[in-house]
Amino acid sequence: MNAEKPPSTRIEDGVFLALVLLVTIAFAWVIEPFAAAILWGVIVAILFAPVNQQLLASMPGRRNGAALLTLLLILVIVIVPAIVLAMALVQEGSYFYGRLQSGQINVAEIFDRFQASLPHWASAWLERLGITNFATVRDMLSDGIASSFQTLAGQALSIGQSAMGFVLALGVMLYLTFFLLRDGSNLVAMLDRAAPLRATPRHALMQQFVIVVRATIKGSLVVAIVQGLIGGIAFWALGIPGALLWGVLMGCASLLPAVGTGLVWVPVAIYLLATGALVKGLILVFCGIFIIGMVDNVLRPILVGRETRIPDYVVLITTLGGIELFGVNGIIIGPVIASLFIATWNIVTRMRRPGGMEGPLADRTE
């Protein structure tokens, strides 16, 4: 029978735990300015860990060399293309904003032309729905588009003014990624020993975190890139101005389940059909439904499988909530938190069963 700790020992233990908590909070506060860089460093390291392991297998004992080659690969295939795309997008957005400001693109005139070209049945249907005040809708649409481009231009200007901060954050991310690739297995083992959880749920949660991050990136960002690329090419082939801008918007919209890229190509297709460009409109509808739309149905199961399949409404809500709380980083943080929430409660449910954690999940994590 264990003797009860004396009061002085319990007080010392309590003080030590309070100190651990205080130091942890202080550490989180110190690194908070680089939270996004740290987040993406961890994500990139998790994604490219298999590549680093293959390189390490071909050059045993040279962990520095394998990590450095992996980092160079990340620069070539991820960082540089992303920077080039961002610069081109800012340039095209600025060009569109300039045309809006100068009146070369007149949204009100485009809306009036669209309204005039509506067939009689469509106008009558809108009247039955009570949508008759087209002037108000036109003004709202014009103001909304103009303010959106103005906001984007302001964001682009602020990014340009804080270029040094961006370069610093990028440097921190790449620096951290190198050490995570090189020492990742040791860091995981250290976290595994330090985590105050029993072995089976601890292993399950750590593995689930890696699976969720990889699946979220592959199942969301890769699909978004492919859909945006196909959509941009379709817009360019049809001669629609701003193909790059539309493609990026479709890529962003594809991150939202249920609605997806239809937020972008459906209104454009309706405008083309209503203004008499029937061939272009029908081609865009075909591409949107049978090519752009099918990418998600074909690619996502291949990239993600059934490992992190969570309901679309949960993905939608957590993605929007993540963006609201964390900005663009919420695209990843929101679904990851949702997946870990579901995984954690699945583990709790298993632990409360008579057999405990026995089963497929426990087998994978031991």
Residue 360 pLDDT: 47
| In-domain check, residue 84 | yes
Residues 347 and 270 in one domain: yes
Residue 277 phi/psi, 5° resolution? -85, 70
Q: Greater confidence, 111 or 177?
A: 177
Q: Is the pLDDT of residue 193 over 80?
A: no
Q: At what angle do helices 243-253 and 262-274 cross, to 10 degrees?
A: 130
Judge if 129 and 185 occupy the same domain. yes
Which pLDDT value is given to residue 366? 37
Same-domain check for residues 284 and 226: yes
DSSP assigned state of 197 = S
pLDDT at position 138: 54
> Would 10 be classed as within a structural domain?
no
Give the per-residue pLDDT at 52: 92
Residues 189, 208: one domain? no
Boundary residue ending a domain (173, 194, 215): 194
**133-137, 198-202, 219-223, 271-275: range with lowest mean pLDDT:** 133-137
Mean of pLDDT values over 241-253 = 84
Per-residue pLDDT at 71 exceeds 80: yes
Tell me the mean pLDDT in the region 25-45. 88
Worst-scoring range by mean pLDDT, 107-121, 138-152, 225-239, 271-285?
A: 138-152
pLDDT confidence tier of residue 189, bands split at 50, 70 and 90: confident
Return mean pLDDT, the chain: 76
Mean pLDDT value of segment 128-136 = 55
Query: What DSSP string describes 175-193?
Result: HHHHHHHHHHHHHHHHHHH
Query: Higher-confidence residue: 46 or 307?
Result: 46
Do residues 331 and 288 share a domain? yes
Is 234 within 8 Å of 319 (Cβ atoms)?
A: no
Residue 314 lies in a domain: yes
Last residue of a domain, one of 194, 228, 250: 194
Residue carrying the six token digits 């460093």: 41
In a domain, 231, yes or no: yes
Q: Where are the alpha helices (DSSP H) in 107-198?
A: 107-117, 120-128, 134-161, 163-194
In a domain, 20, yes or no: no
More confident residue, 173 or 120: 173
Flag whether 318 is in a domain.
Answer: yes
Confidence of residue 1 (pLDDT cuts 50, 70, 90): very low
Binned at pLDDT 50, 70 and 90, residue 347 comes out as confident
Give the least confident one: 23-32, 107-116, 188-197, 202-211: 107-116
Residues 171 and 61 in one domain: yes
Would you say residue 313 has pLDDT above 90?
no
- Average pLDDT value for residue range 32-56: 88
**pLDDT confidence tier of residue 73, bands split at 50, 70 and 90:** very high
Last residue of a domain, one of 194, 227, 254: 194
Secondary structure class of 153 (helix, strand, coil):
helix
Cβ within 8 Å of residue 74, ≥6 positions away: 44, 48, 174, 177
- The count of structural domains within the chain is 2
Question: Is 23 contained in some domain?
Answer: no
pTM of the predicted model over 0.85? no
The pLDDT assigned to 16 comes to 83
How far is the C-alpha of 198 from the C-alpha of 201, rounded, in Å? Answer: 6
Answer for the pair 222, 207: CB distance below 8 angstroms, yes or no.
no
Are both 81 and 178 inside the same structural domain? yes
| Residue 303 shares a structural domain with residue 348 | yes
148 has pLDDT over 60: no
Rounded to the nearest 5 degrees, what angle is found at the Cα of 25, between the Cα atoms of 20 and 28?
125
Give the residue, 302 or 61, on which the prediction is more confident.
61
Return the top range by mean pLDDT from 21-35, 88-102, 251-265.
Answer: 21-35
Provide φ and ψ at 363, rounded to 5°.
Answer: -60, -40
Let me know whether 203 and 301 are in one domain.
Answer: yes
Q: Between residues 79 and 209, which one has the greater pLDDT?
A: 79
For 297-310, what is the mean pLDDT? 66
In contact, 344 and 355? CB cutoff 8 Å: no
Query: Among 51-65, 80-94, 297-311, which stretch is predicted with the lowest mean pLDDT?
Result: 297-311
Is pLDDT at 4 greater than 70 in this prediction? Answer: no
Instruction: Report, as an integer, the average pLDDT of 3-26.
Output: 79
Print the domain residue range for 152.
34-194
pLDDT tops 50 at residue 152: yes
Q: Give every CB contact of residue 361 below 8 A, 6+ residues apart in sequence.
A: 204, 346, 347, 350
